[in-house]
Amino acid sequence: MQARLTIHAAERDQGKTTSLVQLVRQCRFQKMHICGVLALANPEKTVYRLKDLFSQEERLALSEMPIAQGKRIGRFYLDEQVFDWINDRIIQSLPGSQVAIFDEIGKLEISGEGLACSFRKALETPGLQIFAAVRIPFIEEVLNSFSIPRERVEITYVGYKE
């Protein structure tokens, strides 16, 4: 059985990461083996650190200010070595994990960068439950880029106020 994917979908700053943090807490409470990554921002959202959910280690990945080996993408400098590190950590942690968290899958991954490598590997892992944050405008592109059949995906919309 292939991995199952649940997308936590919302617009920018509408609670995707918050919903994944709550999910991680619930999984840990149930003593499930978790791997993956959370992208944790400072309050101003000018700096993002990637947190490996297996080891709990964090590293600076994106900053509005120049960083060593930083590649400019939009308003941020991106440290590709940190993305290499987190992809390796996730791939190493997949065997034995029941749940994988990806915060978030977007433009970088659609272009084959960022978390694309480990996300693809997770999708190929039998029996794994994957939860990924995806902005609403990118859902179809993500599904197409990773050849994910629509029937294998559950989409949960978060952050909406009625």
Are 10 and 160 in contact by the 8 Å Cβ rule? The answer is yes
**Model confidence, pTM:** 0.94
Q: Please give the pLDDT value at position 151.
A: 87
Strands 99-103 and 129-135: parallel
Place of tokens 């991106």: 78
Asked which of 6-10, 65-69, 72-76 is least confident by mean pLDDT, the reply is: 65-69
- Mind listing the domains of the chain with CATH numbers? 4-157 (3.40.50.300)
> How far is 16 from 18, CA to CA, in rounded Å?
5
152 confidence band (pLDDT: 50, 70, 90)? confident
Are 136 and 12 in contact by the 8 Å Cβ rule? The answer is no
**Could you please report the per-residue DSSP string of 13-33?**
TSSHHHHHHHHHHHHHHTT--
**Helix, coil or strand: residue 84:** helix
The pLDDT > 90 percentage for the chain reads 83
